[in-house]
Structure 1
Amino acid sequence: MQWLVAESVWWGGRLRTGVALRVAPNGLVKPVPAELAPGGEDTRRFAGTLLPGLVDAHVHSALVDLGTVRAGGIAEVWDLGGVPARVAELAEQAREAGSALPRVRYAGPFLIAPGGYPSDRAWAPAGSWREIVTVADAGAAVAEASAAGATLIKVTAHAGGPQLELPVLSAVVAAAHASELPVVVHAEGPGTVAAACSAGADVLAHTPWTERIDDSLLQACAQRMRWISTLDIHGWGRPDDPDREVAVDNLRRFIGAGGTVRYGTDLGNGPLPAGINVREIRLLQSAGLTPDGVLTAMTESGSSTVSWLPGGLDPDPERFADALATARVLDADSRLHSS
């Protein structure tokens, strides 16, 4: 058993004082009253604020340096499409004691229609997609991904090329849910968000940006799925990007309808910072998230990783993003992992 004590702790959606973190032998972290922490060497003390490990829920490991991502403050990533054996190898390396990599949760290959996105993209390596033709094939593809260690299933619905028919997409979702695996859909273009929602998908890999989502569909999405933000891929900080404006408007209305957002950047897609993305955080704020809301979007409720803000959490909306960008990841033995 280990104990972490800091000046403040952000956990469970709010900033607290008088709280310590108890790290169980299995790695599970739980906030408890600070007076329970013993005074010996099993207790590590820090200035500033401790919080659950920060998560980027949309990364492509083959296109980035994960060590740099962790040094930049990200404790965990979701790999949403890659060569299964390679991503599994990275995930195994990340679990090793003293690893300099973030924890990796992964979806395995993109599940696609024959000839569909992203098999026609130069950035997608051979083996990073798996074509599906029939309903029976859908079940087999999910079983293969699960056997390879995937805890997510990624499907593409791209209006610019071949797409899975709705019965096949629905069969993927049904097979995944039977194995208790959430389904993430890359939905791009007219009709794709509606198809993902109708099929029962759990997560959209991107906030929709190609069109304004009508209110009835947006309400349906808010009731049954989460959206991963990925707002900064539109313009990478350039002003007045029209796709970004559409995406922020859709996300603002989604949040207003009660929808749940996950912070994710699509890291590997263009000139995005390898670590905490201040621009993404500010765009989430512009879409209506408070600082507590942003942290909720960036963390897991049952975290086994811990992040540290040496200067403390600054809840002022104007200063929040820059302050959060100073976060660093604590190693399993509670020592600071620095770049």
Structure 2
Amino acid sequence: MAITFLHTRLVDRGAVLAADCLRVADGVITAIGGPDIAHPGDELVTGGTLLPGLIDAHVHLIPGATRLAARYGVTTLIDQFSQPDLIAAERAAGADFRTSSIGATAPGGHPTLAFEPFPYVEDPKQFVADRIAEGADHLKLIYDDGSGVAMNIPTLDEPTIRALVEAAHASGLKVVAHVSTATGAVTVVDRGVDVLAHAPSDPMSPAQVEAVAKARVAVIATLDITDGFATPDSADLPLLGEAELMVRMPARWRRLLDKQSRRWMPPEAPTNAIASANTLALHRAGVPVLAGTDAPNPGLVFGASLHRELQHLVAAGLTPAEAITAATAAPAEVFGLSDRGRLTLGARADLLLVDGDPLTDITATQRIQNTWVAGEVATAMDDQTELAGIHFIGATTDRIVNALKEMWPGFPAPEDIRREDGELLGHVVPVTGGSLPTTVFGAALGPVSDHDTAVETVEQRGLPSLGETWWARTDGDWQEATIIEAQPDRVRLRWKDPMLDQHPSGQWYPLTDVDLKL
């Protein structure tokens, strides 16, 4: 099917083109000019601002990630560490993305906690060859001893890094390096890496900024990592406050964000102030800045969070045009994606149409009219794939938390509150600003307070609350319901509406499929 966009603002490399019409046929851009480029029978789309499909330069795959991202105009994902079975399954399902496959890290090093067992580096050349055999498009390596977060974890040594870089470059692969400190950034660029996976989280000196700039590397900012934490001003994670993005959010993902808002968080939410300052300094020194989210870390959702990342880049000091370039042409050039990231003749028709002018207001990228992937309208993922993605995140989170508890017995975690006879009444969750009392299935029983008050709330209301009338919704409007039985991952509800046809003992609902509030 051919499409012609008429009298539409066309934005390429952060600038408005003189032409205002663009034609797509057979999945590519075939003409840019005036209204005369339209052919009889073309689908006509008028108005708005047309951008190249956005590129997220830093994600970790889950089932269905590319389909969810496309819902928000993010048409290309660049994976920075996933296991080959997942990569193969996603490609078999038709997903188009770029990947490093398994990243190179020291035994027990970051991010071992998040993954099932995977191979470590024994022979650098063989390690690179094995990744290529798995379908890797670039190499990812980790140089992080944990000092940036007051931890002590194993990391690769410098000779191994150099050997990995040489082997990757000999095979035509670029190398992306995870570092968290300014010193680490200078070390890896001196060893020849091509891209920094994050902006350092400690202040960079002018000499360090100059060293990175002289090495002609790029940096993926990932400033939105802090969106994984609530602030004293709001008990919810920041993405939940973005109305335009939440309108497009699948219900299960909204529920996941809501649940993540009630997980353990540090007493004071971290900020990205230092990373933002480093990003701006590197940008001014000529370092290409790329937009990346590190989804699916807590609080981050494929596609949606890249729009938040654009806001963070603008808040850091980039212009809206520079932020848009960081999510289109810049990552395409750095990662060799010559067929996308631009509105040019012959480019793949990955397109995002929005209301408003994102060159003057970066939040306009959130006002999405439609997305096309290779000229076809992006479609929603199926129910089975969506559930697989949610369960994948749950399993990963459980694996990380259990490993942390084993390594550090004092690691903060939700506290079970039990009656004298051992029956579970609910939980107290340490969150930013205090402690949150919740039911056995995680619903809030009251506001954030001090620990003792939260414990008292659970003791007094944990069980009685189950006998109260709750408001619940699945896919429709809120309705009154009674909780017949509750478990940590599901509840059995009976709706109060006497006109509904339902079993006398109610129906079980997994918590992924129901919202509950008192």
What TM bracket, shorter-length normalisation?
A: 0.7 to 0.9
Distance in 1, matches of 2:188 and 2:4, equals: 42
Distance in 2, matches of 1:279 and 1:331, equals: 21
| Cross-structure match for 1:325 | 366
Distance in 1, matches of 2:377 and 2:326, equals: 25
**CA 1:45–1:248 in structure 2 vs 1: closer, same or farther (change >3 Å)?**
same
| Cross-structure match for 1:100 | none
Residues 60-94 of structure 1 show CA distances to partners (whole Å, capped at 9, x for unaligned) of: 11387443222132111111101113113313423
1:203 is displaced (CA, Å) by 0.8
Q: Name the SS of the counterpart of 2:293 in structure 1.
A: coil
1:155 is displaced (CA, Å) by 0.5
| Cross-structure match for 1:271 | 299
Q: Name the SS of the counterpart of 2:88 in structure 1.
A: helix
Query: Given that residues 159 and 189 in structure 1 are in contact (C-alpha distance below 8 angstroms), is that contact kept between their aligned partners in structure 2?
Result: no
Distance in 2, matches of 1:167 and 1:69, equals: 38
| Cross-structure match for 1:99 | none
| Cross-structure match for 1:155 | 141
Query: Given that residues 107 and 154 in structure 2 are in contact (C-alpha distance below 8 angstroms), is that contact kept between their aligned partners in structure 1?
Result: yes
1:176-325 equivalences under 5 Å are 176-189=168-181, 191-209=183-201, 211-223=202-214, 224-234=216-226, 236=228, 238=230, 243-277=271-305, 278-300=307-329, 302-303=339-340, 304-316=348-360, 319-321=361-363, 323-325=364-366
Q: Name the SS of the counterpart of 1:75 in structure 2.
A: strand
Query: Given that residues 169 and 199 in structure 1 are in contact (C-alpha distance below 8 angstroms), is that contact kept between their aligned partners in structure 2?
Result: yes
| Cross-structure match for 2:471 | none
1:138 is displaced (CA, Å) by 0.9
Residues 74-126 of structure 1 show CA distances to partners (whole Å, capped at 9, x for unaligned) of: 1111111011131133134235xxxxxxx31111001112222112x1x2233
1:26-37 equivalences under 5 Å are 27-29=27-29, 32-34=32-34, 37=37
> Structure 1 residue aligned with 2:98, among 100, 105, 130?
105
Query: Given that residues 354 and 365 in structure 2 are in contact (C-alpha distance below 8 angstroms), is that contact kept between their aligned partners in structure 1?
Result: no
1:39-118 equivalences under 5 Å are 39-42=39-42, 44-62=44-62, 65-95=65-95, 103-118=96-111
Residues 298-321 of structure 1 show CA distances to partners (whole Å, capped at 9, x for unaligned) of: 1135312422324243422xx322
| Cross-structure match for 1:15 | 16
Query: Given that residues 235 and 241 in structure 1 are in contact (C-alpha distance below 8 angstroms), is that contact kept between their aligned partners in structure 2?
Result: no
Q: CA RMSD of the aligned region, Å?
A: 2.6
**CA 1:258–1:228 in structure 2 vs 1: closer, same or farther (change >3 Å)?**
same
Query: Given that residues 66 and 97 in structure 2 are in contact (C-alpha distance below 8 angstroms), is that contact kept between their aligned partners in structure 1?
Result: no
Distance in 2, matches of 1:21 and 1:309, equals: 12
How many percent of aligned residue pairs carry the same amino acid?
Answer: 29
Q: Which amino acid aligns with 2:372?
A: L
Q: Which amino acid aligns with 1:12?
A: R
**CA 1:182–1:30 in structure 2 vs 1: closer, same or farther (change >3 Å)?**
farther
Mean CA deviation greater in 9-18 or 70-79: 9-18
Q: Name the SS of the counterpart of 1:308 in structure 2.
A: strand
**CA 1:259–1:42 in structure 2 vs 1: closer, same or farther (change >3 Å)?**
same
| Cross-structure match for 1:98 | none
Structure 1: segments with no counterpart, 5+ residues: 96-102
Distance in 1, matches of 2:316 and 2:78, equals: 23
Distance in 2, matches of 1:305 and 1:194, equals: 38
Q: Which amino acid aligns with 1:246?
A: I
Residues 108-164 of structure 1 show CA distances to partners (whole Å, capped at 9, x for unaligned) of: 001112222112x1x22333xx3113xxx1111111111221111110111132222
1:267 is displaced (CA, Å) by 0.5
**CA 1:228–1:131 in structure 2 vs 1: closer, same or farther (change >3 Å)?**
same
**CA 1:282–1:63 in structure 2 vs 1: closer, same or farther (change >3 Å)?**
same
Q: Which amino acid aligns with 2:159?
A: P
Who wins on radius of gyration, i.e. which is larger? Answer: 2
Query: Given that residues 24 and 375 in structure 2 are in contact (C-alpha distance below 8 angstroms), is that contact kept between their aligned partners in structure 1?
Result: no
Q: Which amino acid aligns with 2:298?
A: G
**CA 1:237–1:49 in structure 2 vs 1: closer, same or farther (change >3 Å)?**
farther
Query: Given that residues 226 and 261 in structure 1 are in contact (C-alpha distance below 8 angstroms), is that contact kept between their aligned partners in structure 2?
Result: yes
- Count of aligned residue pairs for this structure pair: 320
Query: Given that residues 64 and 268 in structure 1 are in contact (C-alpha distance below 8 angstroms), is that contact kept between their aligned partners in structure 2?
Result: no
Q: Which amino acid aligns with 2:272?
A: R
1:232 is displaced (CA, Å) by 1.5
Query: Given that residues 159 and 192 in structure 1 are in contact (C-alpha distance below 8 angstroms), is that contact kept between their aligned partners in structure 2?
Result: no
**CA 1:44–1:139 in structure 2 vs 1: closer, same or farther (change >3 Å)?**
farther
Residues 249-288 of structure 1 show CA distances to partners (whole Å, capped at 9, x for unaligned) of: 1111111111111110100111124323343222101222
TM-score norm. by structure 2 comes to 0.57
Residues 202-232 of structure 1 show CA distances to partners (whole Å, capped at 9, x for unaligned) of: 11111111x2122112112123111111112
1:16 is displaced (CA, Å) by 2.4
**CA 1:214–1:251 in structure 2 vs 1: closer, same or farther (change >3 Å)?**
same
**CA 1:31–1:153 in structure 2 vs 1: closer, same or farther (change >3 Å)?**
farther
